[in-house]
């Protein structure tokens, strides 16, 4: 008896040389990029980002009216949109009709 996996293998065409070469090239590039990511390189990048932020601090817009907070676990969620309210109402009607 032929399994579904064997059937699927027969349906899918074998990989072409062009596709194989492209995949190999991407894998080589990926490995080369991975070699460039070192703790020292990360530290240098962090320093560059901090310096850029400090250098551009005078150009930042000041926010005076609202206070920004981190995610508050939906204690203060945004109001539900009209579209979602309509969908909820339609769903409630469908559920009521089924009862």
Per residue of the chain (99 residues), give pLDDT as tens: 667 777 666 677 788 999 999 999 999 999 999 999 999 999 999 999 999 999 998 888 777 766 666 777 777 778 889 999 999 999 999 999 987
pTM: 0.40
Contacts of 15 (CB under 8 A, 6+ apart): 23
Reduced to 3 DSSP states, what percent helix, strand and coil does the chain have, rounded to the nearest 5?
65, 0, 35
DSSP code, position 57:
G
Contacts of 1 (CB under 8 A, 6+ apart): none
């Amino acid at each position: 008896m032929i399994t579904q996996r064997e059937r699927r293998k027969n349906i899918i065409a074998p990989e072409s040389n062009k596709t194989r070469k492209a995949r190999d090239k991407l894998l080589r590039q990926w490995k080369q990029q991975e070699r460039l990511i070192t703790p020292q390189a990360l530290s240098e990048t962090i320093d560059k980002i901090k310096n850029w932020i400090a250098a551009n601090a005078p150009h930042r817009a000041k926010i005076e009216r609202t206070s920004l907070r981190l995610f508050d676990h939906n204690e203060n969620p945004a109001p539900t949109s009209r579209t979602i309210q309509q969908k909820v109402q339609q769903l409630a009607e469908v559920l009521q009709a089924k009862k």
